[in-house]
Structures are given as C-alpha cells and as structure tokens.
Structure 1
Amino acid sequence: MQLKGKQKRYLRAQAHDMRPLFQVGKEGLSANWLAQIEDAIEKRELFKVNILQNALVEDEEVIAFIEENTDIQVVQKIGHVLVLFKQANKKDNRSYSLEVAKL
C-alpha cells in the first residue's frame, strides 16, 4: 500500500502524542528485533521507534533495514524517532488503515 500525502499527514497526526514503543541501542539491528517489530505492528499498525544516541547504526541504516526486509513503511523521521506503519493482516486489528483508506 503506497501512501499518499494526505494519508501520511493523517498518520503523522495520529502518532504525534505516542511515545516510542521500541528502541535501537548499542546492540544494533537483528532478526529478532525485526521479528518483534513485525509482531507489534500487526497488532497496532502504527507506532514509533527511537534510535538511541549510543546506537552503532545511523538512522538511514535503520530505515533501509526495515524497508528492505519487511512491508513496513517509514511514514516520518524526526530527529532520531521513526514513525512506522503497516496495514494489519487481521481485520480485527485494523483501525488506522480503515481511516487511511478513506482519504
């Protein structure tokens, strides 16, 4: 699902008050971390990831790692915080994607 400008703007507004759910630290990126991200995004559809200052990877590396290995989209990057979105496979877990589809 390729997001349009209005859809991204809606998702950014919804994520504004959220606190980061995951962090990337000195351990860096791993398959286990990515599996946890995929499990969480299936249930929530939208959340934030914080890249800590002591992380051994750059922000762009994290974005590339997520987008290359999953269907998750990075909606926004502000400083060291990423906003991630993916439509849930289960219809029961869809909340944001229903609103995004209307836009």
Structure 2
Amino acid sequence: MKLTNKQKQYLKGLAHSLKPVVQLGGNGLTEGVLAEIENALSHHELIKVKVPTDDRDEKSLIMDAIVRETHAEKLQVIGHVMIMFRQSDEKKIQIPKG
C-alpha cells in the first residue's frame, strides 16, 4: 500500500503522542525483536521503534531491514526513533483518502 504525503502527514500527527513500543537491545535485530514488531504492528497498526545505536549507517541498515521484513511503511525517522505503519485487516486507523 502506497501512502500519499497527505496520508503520511495525518499518520505522523497521530504518532506524535505515542511512545516507542519496541526498543532494540544490545543484540540488535533478532528474530524475537522482529516478532515483537510484527505483533505490535498487527495490534496497533501505527508504532514507534527505537534503534539506539550511534552508528548512522548501522541504524539505517537496521531500520531498512525492519521495514523490509515487516512489509510496513516507514513514515519518519527522528533521531533513534522510527515511525511505522501497516494497516491490518480490521483497519483500526481510518486514513483520509488520497
């Protein structure tokens, strides 16, 4: 699902008050962490994930891997926090059209 800029702005506004649901630990991106992100996306649709690493390239690679594995949409990255969205079958969040 490809989101328009208007839809992304709307979702970023909703995500503003959210706290990171998943935070990567010292082991980086493990199967368990991915499973946790999958569960959070299925349950909430819109989540924040914290990737605490000072290496920009590593952080970028980890975030890209998360997006690729979960088939979610990366909305925004601020510092170490990535905002992600993936609509579930229940469509809990109503996105404005186009």
User: Shorter-chain-normalised TM-score: which range?
Assistant: 0.7 to 0.9
1:4 is matched with: 4
Alpha-carbon deviation of 1:101?
A: 4.8
2:35 aligned with 1:40, yes or no? no
- Find the counterpart in structure 1 of residue 92 from structure 2: 95
CA RMSD of aligned residues (A): 1.9
Stretches of structure 1 lacking an aligned partner (at least 5 in a row) = none
Q: Does the aligned pair in 1 maintain the 2:53–2:59 contact within 8 Å?
A: no
Whichever residue aligns with residue 10 of structure 1, its letter is: Y
Asked whether the 8 Å contact 2:22–2:36 carries over to 1, the reply is no
Structure 1 stretches of 4+ with a deviation exceeding 6 A read none
Q: For each residue in 1:8-28, what CA deviation from the matched residue of structure 2 results, as whole angstroms up to 9, or x when unmatched?
A: 000100000111111112110
Q: Give TM-score, length-normalised by structure 2.
A: 0.87
CA contact (8 A) 1:20 1:49 kept: yes
Is the Cα–Cα contact under 8 Å of residues 15 and 46 in structure 1 kept in the other structure?
A: yes
If the length of structure 1 is used for normalisation, what is the TM-score?
Answer: 0.83
1:67 aligns with 67
Structure 1 pair 23–54 and aligned structure 2 pair: CA distance change class (3 A): farther
1:83 matched to 2:83: yes
The runs of 5 or more residues in structure 2 that have no matched partner are none
1:25/1:54 contact within 8 Å kept: no
